[in-house]
Amino acid sequence: MRTVRDADGRRYLLVKRSSESSLVRDPETGDEEYLPNDDLSPAEGVSPLEAAALGVPEPVRRVLTAAHTERALGLLVELSDRGPLAVRDLLAAYDLCESDLHGLLAEFRAAGLVREREVAGERGYDATETTREAIAALRP
């Protein structure tokens, strides 16, 4: 499978090519249609899998790439639902050692998924709006 662009720069996944037209899939909607081959050109530097991922909303993609385990995803869910929470409370409430907790929080901060907050005079963390949007989209 290859990634192609139309004359307007819109990306598609090339499903099947014939002599005059190609069947392409829009990665954002999943819809397929035939477009003239003359209107399509290769989308250099964009893998088909990366293009397919564009159909998932950006906040969800960010959470999925940053939360590598269910525990990590659970931490984001808890911060989204209950935050802001003090670091002391996070350590007391969940089965994470201090280094694991701080490692996850550092990754999430770098990804823009949590921000540091003061909670009852102590250092704490809260989910960003991006995280809240993603968690809402992931729930039924």
Enumerate domains of the chain plus CATH numbers.
2-53 (2.30.30), 58-138 (1.10.10.10)
Query: Which among 24, 80, 69 is positioned nearest to 48, based on CA atoms?
Result: 24
Contact 94/78 with Cβ under 8 angstroms?
yes
DSSP designation for 71: H
pLDDT of 55 higher than 90:
no
Contacts of 89 (CB under 8 A, 6+ apart): 119, 124
Q: Which residues pair with 114 in a beta bridge?
A: 127
Per-residue model confidence (pLDDT) at position 28: 87
> What is the Cα–Cα distance from 129 to 79, expressed in whole angstroms?
11
Per-residue model confidence (pLDDT) at position 140: 86
Per-residue model confidence (pLDDT) at position 15: 94
Query: Which among 81, 69, 80, 68 is positioned nearest to 113, based on CA atoms?
Result: 80
Helix (H) or strand (E) holding 106: helix 98-110
Assigned token pair, 115: 């921000």
Contact 77/85 with Cβ under 8 angstroms?
no
Percent residues over pLDDT 70 in the chain: 100
pLDDT in tens, 22-42: 999 999 889 999 999 999 999
